[in-house]
Structure 1
Amino acid sequence: MTLDRAVMAFAGAMVLVSLALTQFVHPAWIWLTVFVGANLLQASFTGFCPAAMAFKRLGLKAGVVFR
């Protein structure tokens, strides 16, 4: 798995988990969804992504997905 795909999978999983927590635990968990979306938006403009930095430290390599 490449770094880019790992970040996308992590973001998608976080959105789904936060929506489940919002539904079954407490409505305030929707703020986790807002945070994930805002982080994705700022990362698209700035290139700074804490999740990508964490995955890189765990050993994932950046790679070309489409050739």
Structure 2
Amino acid sequence: FLSTDDFWRDYNRMVSDGIKFVREPQVQDYGTVAVFEDLYGNLWDLLELSADHPMAIRML
């Protein structure tokens, strides 16, 4: 997971930098997520947790 505090800022920047997303952004109960591929073929989740998610509260 790659956690962010502003999903759309980082997603749009990554797309403009040529990062390949293999799963389009989705809004889930726990937050907003999309899956991208790194230079070595590893898959990462770009994730912004919902403000009320227990893990997001821990990060404050």
Q: Under TM normalisation by the shorter chain, which class is it? A: 0.3 to 0.5
TM-score by length of 1: 0.36
Please say which structure displays the higher CA radius of gyration: 1
Structure with greater helix share of residues: 1
